[in-house]
Amino acid sequence: MLALLVLLGLARYPVAQWPLAVALAAYTALLWYRPAAFLLVLPIVLPAWDLGLWTGWMMVGESDLFILTTIAVLMVRDPPQAIDLRVASAPRVVLLAFTAGWLIATVVGMSSPLGATHSDNAFLRPDNALRLAKGLIEALALLPSLRQRQRVHGDAVTLLGWGLAAGLCAVTLIVLAERALFASILDFSTAYRVAGPFSSMRVGGGHIGAYTALVLPFVLCLFQLRPRWLGSGLAMLACLCGGYTLAVTFARTAYAAGMVAMAVAGPGWLWAANQRRTHALAFGIVPVVLVLSALAATAAFTGMHERFAASAMDLSTRQQNWRAGLAVRDPGVPAALFGMGLGTYQRTMLSRSPVNRPSDLVLKQDDEGTYASMRVETPFYLGQKIALPETGFLHLTLRARSPDGQTALGVAICDKVLLYSDNCRGADTKLVEPDHWVTVAAAFPLDGLGGRALFGVLRRPVELSLFGRAGHTIDIRDISLSDDAGRPMLVNGDFGHGLDRWIFTDDSHVSWRMLNQYLMLFFETGILGLMAFAALAGLALAGGVRALRGGALAGAVVAGAVAGFMVSGLFDNVLEAPRLATLFFLVCWCGLIQWEAGASRSGRSAGATMRLSSK
């Protein structure tokens, strides 16, 4: 069944299918030969392989196909044993409580009548609850295999750490490419904030900063590679990659989270290395100094001083956002205990709030076919990454209408990855006749679009964007974009394949989230869900500390990773990105495993003491 789901995903994949198919086939063969390879491969694929800006997919991504493949192969090749499903008492209670809380919130979110009208904006649909729950579901499915590897070989946490460090380097390569194309790799004076491979940031969010803070402590695991000089070199390289990526986020919370993560992991690693009398491994304190120094230098000598100067104003904006979100909650005990339901925040704001209302996007049918209807409440853009000829013009035709005859259609073609647009050229068309389809035609010169970098190896992505005025609805259909020879540069312009290849972005970040992970959890999962999450993170952190006290080097990195991620949630909703949530939960599982191992050691020590006393 899982294999069929993977094949179905491949068959419907809207961009080049063969690279993904080859990668999945190669990964399947590798897993069959080396089942533990999932601990190295998934931490690379989860953050780095994301073509959502080109596919338009939000509910399913490439990483989901890799996870389904992992579970399918492992269930046949190396299925976990019954003992791997039995978690120790304290982790079992916490895990069951957290899972139950998210299950209840998912059911409530799926059944909520708020925003029940049809929408093709995934944030405004009931199945948005499943999209958010996916991160936990996938991590739970991988937990038995993680525990099995740790039980049999005792190296699951270390292997996962190597994979996370490699994933950080892969993400940094993508970040370097983005910086080379749109800013400069070593120019820190321009606060160009990267998005990297995180298409989940289409409506804002600090996902790449939270990811980097979560993963950065795991670079210390590379010091355990043999030969020692190779491990030290790779650890230093990975640390520089992580420090660079964190620095070019130009995000204050990301800086704080990274500093906390390394401030916990570095000294902890040093202490554990001294406990084990492995002084060579104590060299791991050096990356901590490098990262903290790099972040301090970036904050001190770049445009970050402007962002720090605006901290008071930004805090006021966040407080207004928090108050607006809490004001639309249901009164009463059920909502306080169990929340409004997972994935319901945007629907609730649209239905009840006078401010911070998100925009909507619906595909509708009439006698002429399918068209897109955008109800614009915010700076909302519907776009597609397009192919680009070398010279000439791009010729655009489409049809648009305004139900009230009081808006205008904006069209722009820009160099753009996700957050910033450059070299734009566009046109506006007023739609003054209510419910009357107007044919729009425009030609755009190619000069200056799609600039190249690194000796022509890299080329800027170019995007066609459509937008309207806030407070109005605009309908669009039959979009065509071609070059001078008539070759099509656009795919799915008639929306015959839904929103495949189309993405929406929004500049009003406060319309899509509460800018605090803990308030967002309280809103959607209630007091019980928030307490369960705090217990899960707290036990994972305690597991890392317990392992650290026992001399386990990996305990330091797990404790640092969890601490950094918790700081990331102070001013953002970081669990809204399912891939990031999956990685965080996998790190938490490592902390739970370390707690179990510490409990087992304590039990054996107590048993030995009792036997000695009886003698």
Per residue in 367-418, pLDDT (tens digit) is 999 999 999 999 999 999 998 888 889 999 999 999 998 999 999 999 999 9
Mean predicted confidence (pLDDT) in 573-590: 97
Please give the Cα distance from 465 to 467 (Å, whole number). Answer: 7
Domain hosting 308: range is: 85-312+516-603
User: What is the average pLDDT score of the chain?
Assistant: 90
> How far from 171 is each of 104, 234, 240, 252, CA to CA, in Å?
34, 15, 12, 20
Domain-located, residue 493: yes
Decide: helix, strand or coil at residue 2: helix
Q: Characterise 408 by phi-psi region: left (phi > 0), alpha (psi -120 to 50), beta (else).
A: beta
Asked whether residue 190 falls in the same domain as residue 217, the answer is: yes
Maximum alpha-carbon separation in the chain: 97
Asked, for residue 238, whether it belongs to a domain, the answer is yes
Q: Is residue 3 a part of any domain in this protein?
A: no
Residue 478 lies in a domain: yes
Is residue 236 located within the same domain as residue 369?
no
Q: What's the confidence (pLDDT) of residue 607?
A: 39
Residue 595 lies in a domain: yes
Assess if residue 523 is contained within a domain: yes
- Whether residue 154 is found in the same domain as residue 274: yes
Give the domain-ending residue among 488, 507, 526.
507
Residues 108 and 90 in one domain: yes
CA–CA gap between residue 75 and residue 67 (Å, rounded): 12
Specify whether 158 is located in the same domain as 303. yes
Structural domains of the chain, count: 2
Quote the CA–CA distance of 198 and 178 in Å, as a whole number.
12
Tokens representing 153 are: 């070989």
Residue that is last in its domain, among 461, 490, 507: 507
- For residue 102, pLDDT over 60 is answered with yes
Euclidean distance between CA atoms 578 and 139, whole angstroms: 10
Token pair for 225: 């590679």
What is the rounded distance in angstroms from the CA atom of residue 315 to the CA atom of residue 322?
A: 10
Task: Please report, for the domain that includes residue 375, its CATH number.
Answer: 2.60.120.200
Instruction: Please name which of 251, 205, 258 lies closest in space to residue 577, comparing C-alpha atoms.
Output: 205
Same domain for 212 and 274, yes or no, is yes
Please give the average per-residue pLDDT across 177-187, as a whole number.
89
Q: Is the peptide bond before 488 cis (omega within 30 degrees of 0)?
A: no
Confirm whether 80 is domain-assigned.
no
Task: Give per-residue pLDDT as tens, 26-80.
Answer: 999 999 999 999 999 999 999 999 999 999 999 999 999 999 999 999 999 999 9
Length of the chain: 615
Task: Identify whether residues 116 and 196 lie together within a single domain.
Answer: yes
Residue 389 lies in a domain: yes
Please, are residues 273 and 281 in contact by the beta-carbon 8 Å criterion?
yes
Whether the predicted pLDDT of 567 surpasses 90: yes
For the whole model, what pTM was predicted? 0.94
In whole angstroms, what is the distance from residue 347 CA to residue 452 CA? 41
Q: What is the token pair recorded at 86? A: 């039995």
Q: Comparing C-alpha atoms, which of 219, 112, 233 is closest to residue 160?
A: 219
C-alpha 482/C-alpha 420 separation (Å) is: 24
Please indicate, yes or no, whether residues 486 and 574 belong to a single structural domain of this protein.
no
Among 484, 507, 530, the domain boundary falls at 507
Are 90 and 139 in the same domain?
yes
What is the C-alpha to C-alpha distance for residues 544 and 538, in angstroms, rounded to an integer? 10
Instruction: Pick the more confident residue, 581 or 224.
Output: 581
- Per-residue confidence at 608, pLDDT binned at 50, 70, 90? very low
